[in-house]
Amino acid sequence: MSVTIKTAEEIESMRVACKLASEVLDFIEPHVQPGITTEELDRLCHDYMVNEQKTIPAPLNYAPPGYSPFPKSICTSVNHVVCHGVPAPRALKKGDIVNLDITVIKDGFHGDTSRMFMVGNEVSKQASRLCQITFECLWLGISRVRPGARLGDIGHVIQRHAETNGFSVVREFCGHGIGRKFHEDPQVLHYGKPGTGMELQPGMIFTIEPMVNAGRAAVSELADGWTIVTRDRTLSAQWEHTVVVTDDGYEVLTVSDGCPPPPALIGDIRGAA
Ligand code: MF3
Ligand code: CO
Ligand code: CO
């Protein structure tokens, strides 16, 4: 496993790419309404990235070994879709929950972030609780990032928070190192044991992107070769940030004016520390 330590200059380039990725989500948020299709969301984001930002949508034609090229510019994962949902001519409806996952390339560097959106601002209590707990899982994971901590510390807090709340964590997909490449080492699992796994060092950059299911953890891949769904077809949620390990903790790189602030429980933890 070869984990790259980014230089100050590379970190600055990542700051730029990551902010742009977050700004795509700010841009698209008002469009996420009942009646719009996920294909229309893809088109709007694609045009914004290419024409306004002059960024490259990293998913378009992305083809890791064993995969066919991803046909669209963003991932749109609705309700029981866990991740890698392919935008389609299918309209969102009131009460849906949808993850929009954006990865842009700017000057050769990748920024990767995703958020949940509640369509029509009227979703079931279970759906909104799932989105909130998953958001807290992301931030609990982030809060463990500092030199000397281990990847298992991050996985552990995420798994514990999801499971204490009656949910389950997807095992087949994980966070990842990121930089000049979309997916680099290390793999950042969203479950695990404290004190295990790779030790974090300043200058490492990776994503944390927990996928949390309302029902069981098992997933299936659809015939399109990309879309991942919960095997029991219960709801799934995901949030993602790209972070850099700093000398005394972390810096979240995928930030912008419209990105949701950390949840209250993080303030509590920091206040207590
Ligand atoms: N953005 C996803 C991630 O967080 C990867 C999507 S790959 C794609 O790692 F090809 F589906 F876009
Ligand atoms: Co990612
Ligand atoms: Co992503």
Residue showing tokens 């560097």: 109
CA of 25 to the centre of ligand 1 (A): 15
pLDDT digits (tens, 9 = 90+) for 83-108: 999 999 999 999 999 999 999 999 99
What distance in Å separates the CA atoms of residue 22 and residue 35, rounded to the nearest whole number? 24
Residue-wise pLDDT tens digits, 238-248: 999 999 999 99
Q: Cα–chain-centroid distance for residue 28?
A: 16
- With a 6 Å cutoff on the Cβ, whether 209 touches ligand 1 is yes
Residues linked to residue 75 through DSSP beta bridges, in sequence order: 101
pLDDT digits (tens, 9 = 90+) for 182-196: 999 999 999 999 999
Q: Kindly report the protein residue whose alpha carbon is nearest to atom 2 of ligand 1.
A: 101
Q: Is 42 in the pocket of ligand 1 (CB under 6 A)?
A: no
Distance (Å) from CA 74 to ligand 2 centroid: 12
For residue 110, what is the enclosing H or E element? strand 109-118
In degrees, rounded to 5, the angle at the alpha carbon of residue 249 between the alpha carbons of residues 192 and 194 is 20
Contact 112 CB / ligand 1 (< 6 Å): yes
Q: Are 115 and 238 in contact (CB under 8 A)?
A: no
| Residues 78, 228 contacting (CB under 8 angstroms) | no
Nearest of 19, 14, 2 to residue 245 by alpha carbon:
14
Does ligand 1 have an atom closer than 6 angstroms to the CB of 184? no
What is the pLDDT, as a whole number, of residue 248? Answer: 96
Is the distance from the beta carbon of residue 101 to the nearest atom of ligand 1 less than 6 Å?
yes
Q: Write the DSSP symbol of residue 29.
A: G
Cβ 119 vs Cβ 34: under 8 Å:
yes
Q: Token pair for residue 51?
A: 């024409």
C-beta 103 within 6 A of ligand 1: yes
Question: What does the pLDDT read at residue 273?
Answer: 42
pLDDT digits (tens, 9 = 90+) for 189-220: 999 999 999 999 999 999 999 999 999 999 99
Ligand 1 pocket test: which of 38, 103, 172, 185 has the largest number of ligand atoms within 8 Å of its C-beta?
A: 103
- Pocket flag, ligand 1, residue 84 (CB < 6 Å): yes
Structural domains of the chain in order of their starting residue, each with its CATH number: 8-269 (3.90.230.10)
pLDDT greater than 80 at residue 147: yes
Cβ of 62 less than 6 Å from ligand 1: yes
For the chain, the maximum distance between any two Cα atoms, rounded to a whole number of angstroms, is 49
Q: Whose CA is nearest to atom 7 of ligand 1?
A: 59
Where are the alpha helices (H) located in 29-68, listed in sequence order?
38-47
Mutate to test the pocket of ligand 1, among 81, 101, 189, 190 (most ligand atoms within 8 A of CB): 101
Give me the torsion for CA of 181, 186, 188, 193, rounded to 10°.
180
Ligand 1, atom nearest to 209 Cα: 4
Q: How far apart are alpha carbons 114 and 133 in whole angstroms? A: 15
The pLDDT value given to residue 272: 47
Whether 270 has a pLDDT exceeding 60, the answer reads: no
